[in-house]
Amino acid sequence: MARNQYTNLFGRSFRTPWPSNRFLSLSPVRIANKAELKEKLQLLANSKKSKTGERRDRSKANTQYSLSGDQKTLIGASRATFEHQRVLIRILRNELGDPYLFSLQLSPWLPDIRVMSLAFNTWSADMRVLEERVRDPMILDASWTEFVLPSPTTDLSVMKARHIVLEENRLLSNRGSKRLAFVNGETETLNRATLVSQMQQLFALPLDARAAPVILLVHGDKETRGILNALGVDTSRWSSCIYDMLYGSNEPNHSSRRDVRSSRSQSPRARGSGGARPRSPSRPVNGYPPVYIVDVRNMYMTMKGRLARDDTVIANARDLCIEDAALADDTSQGGGPSSNGWCAGIESRLLGFMWYRMARGPAIDEQHKLRWNPKESLPTTSNTDPGSTSTADAPPEAATGADDSDFDPNDLPAAAPTRPTVVSTTQSSASRGDVYVMDPEGGTMTTTMSFDRCAE
């Protein structure tokens, strides 16, 4: 939308945008037409004025996510983190156009980042005292998967994966759930001491100090850190937010997002056989954390807005309509797979596809409506062909480039089709206007919207 169009539509001149550091996230939202734009702006209008004079975003869209002044809510920060993933995916797919329009300060190593996922399963019947369970968790299996980054013409795909069953605990099982076979690769049986060594090697600082950081996808940030700490991996300098990866160190109203927990809480005690002694803290690479954790479970829960009945990786993946060979009817030991089945190999693989699926879609509110409105349905994400270079099916917006308006439920096939749908990911350029609404009206939680030129 051009500036004169904005003036004609709203009867006032376009105001200078607020500085980018007033926002927790700046991400693209496609507005299809003038009516939709007007409705969106009405939802973002600050409807109430503070009697005390304190700034607060009281718009219908954001009042539940804002506090007075520059304070932020946890849900607001989680929503911003969700949008950061959308920005990152569009950078990797070269769909954002001019990074300046989103106030991005991208590091030269960004195209070289590695994306990995990590999953563990522990024994649920462990009745030891909490201190012992934290120091020495009863790990049943562990898995990590490394992915090939998406590009303008390809989706996220699996590069390699490892699945390890702990020899000491191989006879244990979790009541009420099934151990699933890892059909996407081989399963190794190793003792705990070997797993400790493998994990420390996996997260060791690279010899090249200029190496790009790792994005680590997990199902529960706190739980994953706890297990890694028990295995002797120091996570104290890891970050739980990719903000500075996108926008540099000019973070809004925070001194730092890095986890600066005490070394006492991060360092497990020495244990007997197979004990892990923590390594020295990993150095940040060029001032950045060596690892950025993305909590895929938190992304899913933030978008859904309520607790899931079966809060497992497999159940959440099914809810996101993801298809994978690991979820086929004949993959489990002793029967068909269920949402409460477990296999870290399957789970680490699915975490990547879940992350990509959510990040590839429209903005968080629009995506929520499309996914869980009973009158609308979503296509599945198919990863059933292990030889394919594109193992995660993008939303329909990929067929025409970065266009969230094409994510139309009327054009979507029914969920869970018998045969996976292949969607082209070829990019097409969009004609962008020069108006970007950045007017939080005293709040900090409003997401920036970019507009293509409205059709007359």
Q: Is 345 exposed, middle or buried (0-12, 13-18, 19+ CB in 10 A)?
A: buried
| % of residues, the chain, pLDDT over 90 | 39
> Using CB atoms within 10 A of its CB, is residue 52 exposed (0-12), middle (13-18) or buried (19+)?
exposed
Q: Which residues pair with 66 in a beta bridge?
A: 72
Span 342-368, mean pLDDT? 95
DSSP state of 175: T
Task: Tell whether 32 is covered by a domain.
Answer: no
Q: What is the pTM of this model?
A: 0.72
* Residue range 114-136: mean pLDDT, rounded: 95
Question: Is the pLDDT reported for residue 231 higher than 90?
Answer: yes
Q: Tell me the Cα Rg of the chain.
A: 23
Q: What is the structure's pLDDT at 189?
A: 97
Q: For residue 39, what pLDDT is reported?
A: 85
Q: Is residue 360 part of a domain?
A: no
Please give the average per-residue pLDDT across 143-147, as a whole number: 97
Q: How many domains does the chain have?
A: 1
Asked if residue 134 belongs to a domain, the reply is yes
Residue bearing the bigger pLDDT, 25 or 63: 25
Going by pLDDT thresholds of 50, 70 and 90, the confidence category of residue 83 is very high
**Of 240, 243, 254, 293, whose CA–CA distance to 26 is shortest?**
243
* CATH number assigned to the domain comprising residue 130: 3.30.420.10
pLDDT value at residue 272: 40
Answer yes or no: is 296 within a domain. Answer: yes
Give the residue among 90, 102, 104, 105 at the shortest CA–CA distance from 438: 102
Cβ atoms 190, 224 nearer than 8 A: no
pLDDT per residue as tens digits for the range 382-441: 554 433 333 333 333 333 334 443 444 333 333 333 333 223 323 333 333 333 333 232
Mean per-residue pLDDT, 145-173: 95
Q: Name the more confident of 114 and 71.
A: 114
The answer, yes or no, to whether residue 275 has pLDDT greater than 50, is no
Share the mean pLDDT of the chain: 73
Please report whether residue 452 resides in a domain: no
What does the H/E/C string look like for 146-172?
EEECCCCCCCCEEEEEEEEEEHHHCCC
- 90-104, 258-272, 374-388, 416-430: least confidently modelled range: 416-430
pLDDT higher than threshold 60 for residue 33: yes
pLDDT value of position 388? 38
At 45, the pLDDT band (50, 70, 90 cuts) reads confident
Determine, yes or no, domain membership for 316: yes
Res. 103 pLDDT band, cuts 50 70 90: confident
Q: Where are the alpha helices (DSSP H) in 50-113?
A: 74-92
Judge whether 430 lies within some domain.
Answer: no
pLDDT-derived band at 253 (thresholds 50, 70, 90) equals very low
Residue 346 lies in domain = 110-353
**String of b and e for 310-329 (b: at least 16 CB within 10 Å)?**
eebbbbbbbbbbbbbbbbee
Strand 157-166 and strand 139-148: the pairing is antiparallel
| pLDDT tens string 427-444 | 333 333 333 333 232 233
269 in a structural domain:
yes
Contacts of 250-254 with CB under 8 Å at 24 or more apart are 250/20, 250/21, 250/105, 251/21, 252/21, 252/22, 252/23, 252/24, 252/70, 252/444, 253/21, 253/70, 253/72, 253/444
